[in-house]
Amino acid sequence: MSGINQSPSEDGPEVNFNKETLTFKISGNSYPENCEKIYEPIKKFIEHYSESGNKTLNLDFHFNLINSTSTVYVAQIIVRVAELAKKGLDVSVKWYYDQYDEELLDLGEKLSSISSLVFEYIPIVEED
Amino acid sequence: MKEEEYIICEDQVLSQYNTIKDSITEDSNILCQNIGSFNQDILISFVSLVEHALAQSGEVKSIQKRLIYLIIECIQNIIYHSDKLPNDAQLAYIIISKNDFGYTIHSSNVIESKNVPALIEKIDALLKVRKDVLSNLFSKKIQTPEINQEGHGGLGLLTMVSKSGKDFNYKVSELTNNYSLFHVEINLNFKQFS
């Protein structure tokens, strides 16, 4: 499962799974040329997550900028996680957003609504 | 595309690009512009340049974010949906300017004329509906999220119309019998944020 980790780039997110805390985190910019390369492995990881015997999954989304295609992939991931939650996986979702980024907050709310997963919304407040 | 047809297209695209630049009045600033081919590296440079310029000018953060999101969608629309030339380049341009009322994005790319009716139908359908309906449409699309054969989510136009607050104007100009120029003007008015 550690093979899922990816380093960030200017247009691609950092992807990290912490085996100790069972926290899966996607953070940074996500407007790459080829979203498939980044998100297909994540989808597979999520699909097979329960096979590892894990009963808990903590999802942390901490996007800076996200394009529409990445949004569709994130929605696919959320839909799959919601299916696992229905089968008994204990899921928590934290959705970080820049306090001024209403669009990103709105996206989190939409993803929560379509999946019926409860999101915790965490505004990032910039210090002067 | 035959070479002579390409030259006609290039001349007309350049002419329209210059006309738009000339129409941008003296009290407006051009933040960023590019004509010719677009790729992901150019997009990354645009995002970085505009982010820097907006931060330097002390622009309101919510406006900064909205403008950058729109630029990403416009340029990726050019990259993915322009009809490719034999040398795999695109014939397109983008101009981002600021005036007293807000920001304007002019984004144009060449498309095959046979694809124009379907594109117009799609945009007109989006422009007809109210903002809240657009928002619901977006939710519906991500409820059954699908990636098309080209590896895209197919939400670019919907995102552009929605994030523009529906201040989205488009025009299609015939360049030759086979090719047209698809032009989008998005106005991000400061009033939307007050």
ipTM reported for the complex, 2 dp: 0.93
pLDDT digits (tens, 9 = 90+) for B128-156: 999 889 999 999 988 887 787 776 778 89
Average pLDDT over residues B46-61: 95
Query: Is the model's pLDDT at B1 over the cut of 60?
Result: no
- Closest in A34, A103, A110 to B163, CB measured: A103
Q: How far is B123 from A94, CA to CA, in rounded Å? A: 34
pLDDT of amino acid A128: 58
Q: How far apart are the CA of A112 and the nearest CA of chain B, in angstroms?
A: 10
pLDDT at B193: 81
For the residues B170-188, what does the mean pLDDT come to?
94
**Which of A11, A31, A111 lies at the smallest CB-CB distance from B142?**
A111
Supply the pTM of this predicted model. Answer: 0.94
The confidence score (pLDDT) of residue B154 equals 81
Residues 15-34 of A with CB under 8 A from B: 31-34
Res B93 pLDDT > 60:
yes
Q: Please list every residue in chain B whose beta carbon sits closer than 8 Å to the beta carbon of residue A110.
A: 135, 138-139, 142
Tell me how far the alpha carbon of residue B163 is from its chain's centroid.
Answer: 12
pLDDT of residue B152: 78
Mean pLDDT estimate for chain B:
90
Q: Which residues in chain A have their CB less than 8 angstroms from residue B146's CB?
A: 72
Q: Is the pLDDT of residue A16 over 60?
A: yes
Give the whole-angstrom CA distance, residue B95 versus residue B9.
Answer: 19
**Is residue A20 very low, low, confident or very high in pLDDT (cuts 50, 70, 90)?**
very high
HEC per residue, chain A? CHHHCECCCCCCCEEEEECCCCEEEEEEEECCCCHHHHHHHHHHHHHCHHHHCCCEEEEEEEEEEECHHHHHHHHHHHHHHHHHHHCCCEEEEEEEEECCCHHHHHHHHHHHHHHCCCEEEEEECCCC
Per-residue pLDDT, averaged over B92-101, amounts to 94
* In chain A, % of residues over pLDDT 70: 97
Q: Using a pLDDT cut of 70, give the percent of chain B over it.
A: 96
Q: DSSP state, B193?
A: G
Percent of chain B with pLDDT over 90: 65
A52: pLDDT confidence band, cut at 50, 70 and 90?
confident
B156 touches chain A (CB under 8 A): yes
Q: What would the DSSP string read from start to end of B75-132?
A: HHHHHHHSPPPTTS---EEEEEEEETTEEEEEEEEEEEGGGHHHHHHHHHHHHHS-HH
Q: pLDDT-based confidence at A77, cuts 50/70/90?
A: very high
* pLDDT above 90: residue B3: no
pLDDT, position B143 = 84
pLDDT, tens digit (0-9, with 9 covering 90-100), for A86-103: 999 999 999 999 999 999
Instruction: Assign A24 a pLDDT band (cuts: 50, 70, 90).
Output: very high
Instruction: Tell me the pLDDT band of B166, cut-offs 50, 70 and 90.
Output: confident
Residue A1 pLDDT greater than 60, yes or no = no
Give residue B7's pLDDT: 87
Beta-carbon separation of A114 and B139 below 8 A:
yes
For residue B145, give the nearest of A11, A72, A101 by CB distance. Answer: A72
Which of B44, B64, B153 faces A72 most closely, judged by CB atoms? B153
Give the residue from B193, B187, B192 showing the smallest Cα distance to B161: B187
Measured between beta carbons, the chain A residues lying within 8 angstroms of B163 are 103
B54-88 pLDDT, tens per residue? Answer: 999 999 999 999 999 999 999 999 998 888 765 66
